Amino acid sequence: MKKYKVLEDVAIADIAFEIYGKNLNELFENAALAIFEESADLSKVENKEKKSIKLNADNVEDLLYDFLSEILFLKDKDSFLFKKSNVKIDKNSLKAELSGEQIDREKHELRNDIKAITLHMFKVEKTKDGYKAVVVVDV
């Protein structure tokens, strides 16, 4: 099963993803991976530090939106690149551990500076193979 694909020609200043997962944990991890890979070349990022995220929301769509927004907040606040995530979802609660390292402009190849998760086309749905989400980010 694919983890995600970039949807071309959705918008000029945005990047759109269609994200897949066998379960919600995998869907959220693959959504995070899409953000990580669009932000930097992950082959040059090491898992030196860990950061934890705990969230509650009214529904799974709000939970995914809040999770991805928190990743961007931590990236900007701490000048941090993430490489890996481990997500556990129980109903509408999320616990995640993310790993990566501080941005080093001499070491890291930065790609897109993702500014925000948008609500444009945003959705999460159950499929016969698991789950699918559409996420559009502003760059």
Condensed to tens digits (0 to 9), the pLDDT of residues 44-81 reads: 999 999 999 999 999 999 999 999 999 999 999 999 99
Q: Are 13 and 115 in contact (CB under 8 A)?
A: no
Unique residue bearing structure tokens 């086309």: 121
Segments making up each domain of the chain, as ranges = 4-138
Q: How confident is the model at residue 13 (pLDDT cuts 50, 70, 90)?
A: low
- Report d(CA 102, CA 85) in Å as an integer: 16
SS3 73: helix
Model pLDDT for residues 71-124, shown as the tens digit of each residue? 999 999 999 999 999 999 999 999 999 999 999 999 999 999 999 999 989 999
Is the pLDDT confidence value at 10 over 70? no
pLDDT for the residue 1: 75
Which amino acid would we find at residue 31?
A
Is the pLDDT confidence value at 14 over 70? yes
Q: Are 79 and 103 in contact (CB under 8 A)?
A: yes
In CATH, what class is 4-138? alpha beta
pLDDT for the residue 124: 98
